[in-house]
Amino acid sequence: MTTPVIGVLALQGDVREHLAALAGAGADARPVRRPAELDAVDGLVIPGGESTTMSKLADIFEMREPVDKRIASGMPVYGSCAGMIMLAGEVLDGRPDQRGFAGIDMTVRRNAFGRQVDSFEAPVEITGVGGEPFHAVFIRAPWVERVGAAVEVLGRVTSGPAAGRIVAVRQGHLLATSFHPELTGDLRLHRYFVDLVRAAA
């Protein structure tokens, strides 16, 4: 079985945690800050962090166009939390100058679950990921308000005030979650993504 090389966009956010989770899930995990480093990977994770800062740094490090091109060419990408915002075609409550990679036909609402103090944890069942519900950690998380016909909804919040909200989606080679699987020690979603990258290679 081949070991896929998966990068973590290392401009801002919880890069180290994703690198550790990917390595634990069987990938050769590497930080990616420059176009040449992007050229060397089979897949990419866009981590949680601050989406407006990430957007600015993508321009400063000249990463926007290279990532756009790789997404268009079919490279698998997984975005968690801020990464989900960066992959959304439309962002509500974002800054006017904020631009992502717009790979997934969906509308997300930034900070939909509230501020940092409103962070919470909840069980979420993910389609295609076996076992018990995922222990999902939401930190200033977005949720998905609309999905296009090509988008598969993989998970929703099952209880509480946000019950029914979409928090995990997939569109072909692109995967996104509102929550942070890299913070829980549960590697199932990272294994799911590693398998996606391996199948695409």
Residues identified as active-site: 81, 180, 182
Orientation of helix 188-200 relative to helix 15-24, angle to 10°: 70
- Do residues 100 and 50 touch, judged by C-beta distance below 8 A? no
Q: Measured between alpha carbons, how far is 88 from 106 in angstroms, rounded to an integer?
A: 6
Identify the bridge partners of residue 44 per DSSP, sorted by sequence position: 7, 77
Whole-angstrom distance, CA of residue 31 vs CA of residue 10: 5
3-state secondary structure of 170: strand
In angstroms, the Cα distances linking 47 to 71, 107, 132, 182, 190 are: 16, 19, 24, 9, 12
Give the phi and the psi of residue 32 in degrees, each rounded to 5: -125, 120
Which residues, 6 or more positions from 194, have their beta carbon under 8 angstroms from its beta carbon? Answer: 4, 6, 22, 25, 26, 27, 43
Tokens of 23: 């390595």
